[in-house]
Amino acid sequence: MMRLDKLLASSASISRTQAQEAIRRGRVTVDGEVVRLPEKKVDEKAALLLDGKPLTYEKYVYIMMDKPAGYLSATEDTRDPSVTELLPEDLRKRSLGIVGRLDKDTTGLLLLTDDGELNHRLTSPRYHMDKLYDATLDLPAEKKDIEIFASGIEFSDFTAMPAKLEIGEDPHRCLVTLREGKFHQVKRMFEKCGKKVVALRRISIGEVEIDGSLGPGGYRRLTDKERDSLLFACGLKK
């Protein structure tokens, strides 16, 4: 159960004050009846109409974006453009959190959600959520690099967990699977092997893969199946 003005504001992407006014003016029905009390507690699943138009309440939103190069995975920045600028007004208002930031020049799968617990679990190494990256290198990767990645690399500030490195047919292209996401981690791991990452793209997080039809800067809501796969993998759904 939830206050009607809160439910309406969230479902219609309007302010709480606008919602209260609409309710008082009799523009809102709940399960077919006009309700004029903004504070009335209603079921989140009730049929809610504003001016006769049905609204659906989303407790949380889950967005995938194909992050373009040149954008920061930050919610705001004064100089550089941020990925949230690519979202429409109604989604920007929801103050979505970014799941596992990508560097400014990195492209590919970025998840944004206001489900704080899922965000936390997706980025915590405790839940073993695989993140897959496609890395392009300046020099060809070598067999010994696979061992280096698998053994867990020691840095001055942290020791990387064992990671999987797969060398492509063109050895300048590699797939890297990580279960954590420290700052510049993929780039720093290749640096330890004497190679420089010249392009980096995140392909997947858990079972959720980047939708190739989105294109740079494109976004969409996760399907129920994609969302549930993440919730399930993080122990938030049975």
By the rule CB under 6 A, 83 interacts with ligand URA: no
Asked if 103 is an active-site residue, the reply is yes
What is the size of the binding site for ligand URA (CB under 6 A)? 9
Amino acid, res. 15: S
Closer of 209 and 228 to ligand URA (Cβ): 209
**Residue closer to ligand URA, measured from CB, 25 or 184:** 184
Residue 102 within binding range of ligand URA, rule CB under 6 A: yes
Q: Does 180 bind ligand URA (CB under 6 A)?
A: no
Residue 234 neighbours by CB distance under 10 Å: 20
Report, in Å, the least distance between residue 102 CB and ligand URA: 4
Q: Closest separation between CB of residue 106 and ligand URA, Å?
A: 3
Site for ligand URA in 144-163 (CB under 6 A): none
Strand extents, DSSP E, the chain? 2-3, 28-30, 33-34, 41-42, 48-50, 53-55, 62-67, 97-99, 107-113, 131-137, 164-167, 173-178, 197-205, 208-209, 219-221
Q: For the chain, how big is the Rg over CA atoms in Å?
A: 22
- Given 5, 31, 51, 103, which residue is catalytic? 103
List interacting residues with ligand URA (CB under 6 A).
Answer: 102-103, 106, 181, 184-187, 200
Active-site positions? 103
